Amino acid sequence: MFLANSKRTKGLQMTGIGGVTCSWHNMWRTNGIGDLQVGERQCNMDFILLATLIGFPLLWLVISYDIACQYARHFYKRMSVMPQKMRLQLAESDIWWKVPNFHLPAHKPKCHSAYSFHWTRGAGMMHGEGVEQNWSFSNGAAGPTRLMGPGSRQATLEDIFGFHNYDRLLAMHRVLPKRLAVNLKEATQHKASFDAFTKGLEEVRPQDVAEWREWVKRWDSKQHEDGKESSFELQEEVATLHEIQYRIAREEFICTDDGVEIEQEHTQGAFLTMGLEIEETQRRLTVDVRALKDPSASQKLAFTKRCTALLKRIHKFRQIQRIYTGDKV
């Protein structure tokens, strides 16, 4: 990131442009384009973002940015040094920071719930990648505008972004009716399925449903920086194989009649573990055999020995299987 933001910048008035779009309609915002001097510095992006929101009365704002988890930190502190007319008249709890869906998997797991559009009330099917899509429309102007003077460059970019918005506006009368027809049909189907599913849960586990609803309300009430309190992600830690084997061994120990561990050659836990190990050995052997189309004599010998050892374990497993599953399996 440092090299990308600092290389080949000496003597240049600007190194690129930053922009703000409406994520609903994929249109460039008024006063939403600005020059960058050294990469995407926060001061530049702050000015562009706040400039496009001047004069708009807002009750709630959702901001999509591929580094929102980093950019949102100290945003209000940075905004406090801006001119009064550029400061947002919104509480911090009324601004929701999100990461576009395509960029989110590259972030750390703790960001996934907190900055996901999927778990944002009112976001619908919005993905937040509109600004990235719009750049593909104007990237071709990077070369020609590089040699232009400031006035010609600005006029050219204004024409490109203006035509993009005009083209999007003309396309709406074709796109929106089709999407509306699909959404009306699917909304009815999904609502009926969801209501039936919810009704079934309320009949069987009414207390859990009430707790889940309160959990979702708490999650939706404020912006989060991680997924620790998320109602949409499992909070359980994944147990290792050794931890599971230890739990099985402890259960076998506790379930003995006299409380004293009985020395057995093969317990239920050992039987299950052996089956899993055999499956893993089979999988690895299959992968290794398929990887060599023309094995040598020594490699064939090694495969034969592995197959022999595997067959011995399978025969032993079948003998133990009769104890726990009978001869009918």
| Residues 310-327, mean pLDDT to the nearest whole number | 85
- 178 vs 322, which has greater pLDDT? 178
Q: Are residues 69 and 147 in the same domain?
A: yes
Q: Tell me the per-residue pLDDT of 216-234, one tens digit each, with 9 for 90 and over.
A: 888 888 777 777 778 887 7
Which domain does 179 fall in, by range? 2-188
Rounded CA-CA distance 152/145 in Å is: 8
Classify residue 218: in a domain, yes or no: no
CA of residue 280 relative to chain centroid, distance: 30
Q: Is pTM, for the whole model, over 0.85? A: no
Q: Are 16 and 9 in contact (CB under 8 A)?
A: no
Cβ neighbours for 160, distance < 8 A, ≥ 6 positions apart: 137, 138, 141
Classify residue 211: in a domain, yes or no: no
Q: Are 117 and 127 in contact (CB under 8 A)?
A: yes
| Residues 276-281, mean pLDDT to the nearest whole number | 91
Rounded CA-CA distance 38/180 in Å is: 43
Q: Tokens 């009365």 map to which residue? A: 57
Classify residue 226: in a domain, yes or no: no
| Residues 281-290, mean pLDDT to the nearest whole number | 92
Cβ of 307: how many Cβ atoms within 10 Å? Answer: 13
pLDDT at 38: 80
Q: Tell me the per-residue pLDDT of 121-138, one tens digit each, with 9 for 90 and over.
A: 888 888 888 888 888 888
Single residue among 120, 154, 188 that ends a domain in this structure:
188
Classify residue 199: in a domain, yes or no: no
Single residue among 126, 154, 188 that ends a domain in this structure:
188
Q: Are residues 96 and 166 in the same domain?
A: yes
Q: Are residues 14 and 129 in the same domain?
A: yes
Domain count, the chain: 2
% of the chain exceeding 70 in pLDDT: 91
Single residue among 146, 168, 188 that ends a domain in this structure:
188
Residue 63: closest CA among 71, 16, 320: 71
pLDDT at 237: 67
Q: Are residues 309 and 180 in the same domain?
A: no
Q: Are residues 115 and 248 in the same domain?
A: no
Q: Are residues 121 and 32 in the same domain?
A: yes
Cβ neighbours for 180, distance < 8 A, ≥ 6 positions apart: none
Judged by average pLDDT, the poorest of 81-90, 91-100, 166-175, 268-277 is 268-277
Classify residue 84: in a domain, yes or no: yes
Classify residue 215: in a domain, yes or no: no
pLDDT at 192: 94
Q: Are residues 180 and 269 in the same domain?
A: no
Q: How would residue 274 be classed by pLDDT, with cut points 50, 70 and 90?
A: confident
Q: Tell me the per-residue pLDDT of 170-180, one tens digit each, with 9 for 90 and over.
A: 999 898 999 99
Cβ neighbours for 87, distance < 8 A, ≥ 6 positions apart: 50, 79, 80
Rounded CA-CA distance 205/117 in Å is: 29
Classify residue 207: in a domain, yes or no: no
Q: Are residues 63 and 184 in the same domain?
A: yes
Q: Are residues 245 and 163 in the same domain?
A: no
Q: Are residues 153 and 245 in the same domain?
A: no
Residue 222: closest CA among 81, 97, 36: 97
Q: Tell me the per-residue pLDDT of 44-86, one tens digit each, with 9 for 90 and over.
A: 999 999 999 998 888 888 999 999 889 999 999 999 999 999 9
Q: Are residues 79 and 6 in the same domain?
A: yes
- 19 vs 243, which has greater pLDDT? 19
Q: Are residues 166 and 313 in the same domain?
A: no
Cβ of 74: how many Cβ atoms within 10 Å? Answer: 10
Please report, for residues 123, 191, 208, 231, 260, the alpha-carbon distance to residue 198 in angstroms, rounded to integers and kept in the order given. 22, 10, 11, 16, 47
Tell me if residue 146 falls in helix, strand or coil.
helix
Cβ of 119: how many Cβ atoms within 10 Å? Answer: 20
pLDDT at 256: 62
Please report, for residues 169, 192, 216, the alpha-carbon distance to residue 209 in angstroms, rounded to integers and kept in the order given. 44, 18, 11
Classify residue 18: in a domain, yes or no: yes
